[in-house]
Amino acid sequence: MSSALAYGAYRTGRLWAAAGLSFGVLFVGSGFALLSLLEFDERCSHGMVQGPGRLLDVRNQAFPPAVICEFEGGDVSAGGTGILGAVLWLSLLFLAVSVVAALLAECFEPPAEHPLAEPVSRADKLRRTGPAFFVTGSVFLMFYALVAWPLLTGPSSSCSAGSDWGYNPPRTLDYSFFPPQATCRYSSGLTRQMVPEWAQILAVGLAVPALIAGVGFVLAWRRWWSERRRP
């Protein structure tokens, strides 16, 4: 074996395959859940959905996507609830575990003879970690920019950005860049959060694989650079 292949890297193909399969189930299942709840909230609000007792509230659930009509004697729901909801949660769990495990594996360098490893060169390691860092980092930055754009353009006036409020724009009481959030107070005295809770959690969650992938890429680059400088 040549010296260029004297290093080891954990085999992560099965982990990425599991992540791809989990994402496919999650995508298809979420699409099916969204289709099944179309106009369900309107029909429930207009009394077209029968339930146990008087209708108390109609609640939208971000994940799994569902509409829940709360009656006095129980709930009637459509979308990602029951078995479908459990499948979506399990798919999300498997996706997160597979991606994090695959990215963490790239941070280590086992011996090439390890039963779970394969021989790679320093350049190969860079070619493995570079795209992973680019993809995870790009996904995080795009989603963060989407939900935090008002904060980035003007944090003190983020609650009134993008709309013509006239003489009574909502006030921004406090804000944070990470996780992206701002508390808005309207002229009526009502306060609410600018960024939905699910988007705030997702922004933080997407930062984790991007950070791990970044560490793996930096370690691979340092090892590659050290080898190049070696006489």
Q: Show me where the domains of the chain are located.
A: 11-112, 121-231
Of 142, 140, 159, 141, nearest in space to 150 by CA? 159
Which of helix, strand or coil describes residue 69? strand
CA 189 to chain centre: 33
Distances (CA, A) of 111 to 106, 147, 186: 13, 43, 61
Sheet arrangement for strand 74-79: 55-61, 66-71, 74-79
pLDDT at 3 (0 to 100): 46
- Quick check: 139 and 23 in contact, CB under 8 A? no
Cα–Cα distance measured from residue 85 to residue 30, given in angstroms and rounded to the nearest whole number? 9
For a pLDDT cut of 90, what percent of the chain falls above it? 30
Residue-averaged pLDDT of the chain: 83
pLDDT at 165 (0 to 100): 65
For 212-225, what is the mean pLDDT? 91
Report, in angstroms and rounded to the nearest whole number, the Rg of the chain calculated over CA atoms.
Answer: 24
Report the chain's terminal Cα–Cα distance, integer Å.
20
**2: pLDDT strictly greater than 50:** no
**14: pLDDT strictly greater than 70:** yes
Longest pairwise C-alpha distance within the chain: 81
CA angle 139, 133, 28 (to 5 degrees): 45
Cα–Cα distance measured from residue 229 to residue 223, given in angstroms and rounded to the nearest whole number? 10
Cα–Cα distance measured from residue 142 to residue 42, given in angstroms and rounded to the nearest whole number? 32
**187: pLDDT strictly greater than 60:** yes
Cα–Cα distance measured from residue 151 to residue 137, given in angstroms and rounded to the nearest whole number? 20
The model's pTM:
0.79
CA angle 142, 144, 148 (to 5 degrees): 125
**32: pLDDT strictly greater than 70:** yes
**231: pLDDT strictly greater than 60:** yes
**211: pLDDT strictly greater than 70:** yes
Strands (E), the chain: 7-10, 55-61, 66-71, 74-79, 117-120, 171-176, 181-185, 191-193
User: Which range in 56-70, 102-116, 146-160, 207-221 is most confidently predicted, on average pLDDT?
Assistant: 207-221
- Quick check: 105 and 15 in contact, CB under 8 A? yes
pLDDT at 1 (0 to 100): 39
